[in-house]
Amino acid sequence: MQMKFTCPDCGVQMKFDEETGGLRCPSCSRTEQTEGYEKDFIKYYHVKQLKEFGDEEARLYVCRSCGMKLVTNNRTALKECYFCGGAMTIGERLSGDLMPTGIIPFSISEKKARKAFSKWFLKVKFAPREFKVKKRDFKCHAVYLPAWLFQFRGQGEAMLHATRSKEGVDEEDKEKIIETEHYDLYRRFDLGFDRIPVCASGKIEERFLEALEPYDFSKLKEFDLYSDFGIPAEQYSLMDEKAEKRAKKRVQELMDEYLLSTGENYEEVKPVEREYQIGKAGTEYIWLPVWFVSIEPGDNEYLFVMNGQTGKVAMDPPYNPVKIFIAGGLGVTFAFLLIRIIVLLSGGSLI
């Protein structure tokens, strides 16, 4: 940390003081407030080495119509694309490509996923008629979604300006007055950010993963090529360097939030100066369980997704805006609560 703070009394550069965890002027010994100093060093519980598939361990299938890339074990053949229903080209052997270090197993069965979808459809009061499909019309596929998981260490040093006001009475004319006290607060912290996920899928956008979150990462287990590889996974397309940039941005936002939270006892808190150092502590490449359900009502095609661990749903319900308009405010609220526009794949257009 290279931030410079000069002593308000004598103008000499103040130094960090281990004893108090605050700043001390070497000349006049003035100290700055030390509230909020955190010495919360993370215990980096596991920093994984990325692994690769060996020869004959995995195959890559590519969809001829949408370009979707799915990875399977060398015993599984895929004919139809999970996303668009297009034909898949015969899988090439994958070797030297990344193998996940961790995996979250499915807890939601296909039966449960289908049931949840039918139940949900019944609730979609504003769906166009053709959308009310029966169970057997669903195409239900389990697939793993590729994601990066980052661990960061974030160190920060900052000066905040804060105020505190109190009401009083003026001695002379007995009028009410408000006295405001101003504070300069020094903060220094060291934080650990454990599992910052970034979606590595090429077909699914980041916001899709956000809509399916949270995943319970305590259930993350080491990937076993023999017991965990019965279900295909989408091949990663976002590389770790790009994903790291996104994750770092998120960490910076979290550090800002933390910094402001250290001034909770004041009325108004503003950062005057701040400096962060964010260092990556570890990377994992993982697979997250997802159920994809596609429906083909008439000429349109829609895709629905469900978190395979928790059952949380993210989808595009094709609703009818005229019906919503007639139903008024309540209906609109209902629709907004449930609707999250996530993916529009080939042929699918929202009304």
Q: Given the rule CB under 5 A, which residues bind Zn ion?
A: 63, 66, 68, 81, 83-84, 86
How many angstroms separate the CA atoms of 159 and 271, rounded? 6
Residue 145 is encoded by which pair of tokens? 């979604």
Report the SS3 class of residue 94.
strand
In the complex, what is the shortest distance from the CB of residue 113 to Zn ion, in angstroms, rounded to a whole number? 20
Q: Report, in Å, the least distance between residue 51 CB and Zn ion.
A: 28
Q: CA 79, CA 267: separation in Å to the nearest integer?
A: 62
CB of 85 to Zn ion, least distance (A): 7
- Please say which residue, 81 or 149, places its beta carbon nearer to Zn ion: 81
d(CA 8, CA 159): 13
Nearest-10 Cα torsion for 90, 92, 94, 99: -20
Question: Of 63 and 196, which has the nearer Cβ to Zn ion?
Answer: 63
Closest contact distance (angstroms) between CB of 62 and Zn ion is 9
- Which stretches within 85-137 are classed as H helix? 110-123
Stated as kind and residue range, the H or E segment containing 139 is strand 139-169
Smaller CB separation from Zn ion, 189 or 302:
302
Q: How far is the CB of 315 from Zn ion (least distance, A)?
A: 18
Q: How far is the CB of 317 from Zn ion (least distance, A)?
A: 22
Beta-carbon contacts of 246 under 8 Å, excluding residues fewer than 6 positions away, are: 198, 206
* Choice between 23 and 303, CB closer to Zn ion: 303
For Zn ion, the closer CB: 66 or 281: 66
Q: Residue 126: which region, alpha, beta or left (left: phi > 0; alpha: psi -120 to 50)?
A: alpha
The nearer residue to Zn ion, 69 or 248, going by C-beta atoms, is: 69
CA torsion, ordered 225, 230, 233, 239, to nearest 10 deg: 0
| Closest CA relative to residue 45, chosen from 192, 254, 201 | 192
Q: In terms of CB distance, is 82 or 223 closer to Zn ion?
A: 82
To the nearest 10°, the Cα dihedral for 345, 101, 103, 226?
Answer: 100
Structure tokens at 62: 């590519």
Q: Which CB sits closer to Zn ion, 63 or 191?
A: 63
- Of 86 and 331, which has the nearer Cβ to Zn ion? 86
Between CA 288 and CA 239 the distance in angstroms is: 17
Of 73, 70, 104, 68, residue with least CA distance to 86: 68
**Nearest approach, Cβ of 83 to Zn ion (angstroms)?**
5
Considering the complex, what minimum distance in angstroms separates the CB of residue 61 from Zn ion?
10
- Closest contact distance (angstroms) between CB of 235 and Zn ion is 13
Strands 268-295 and 102-103: parallel
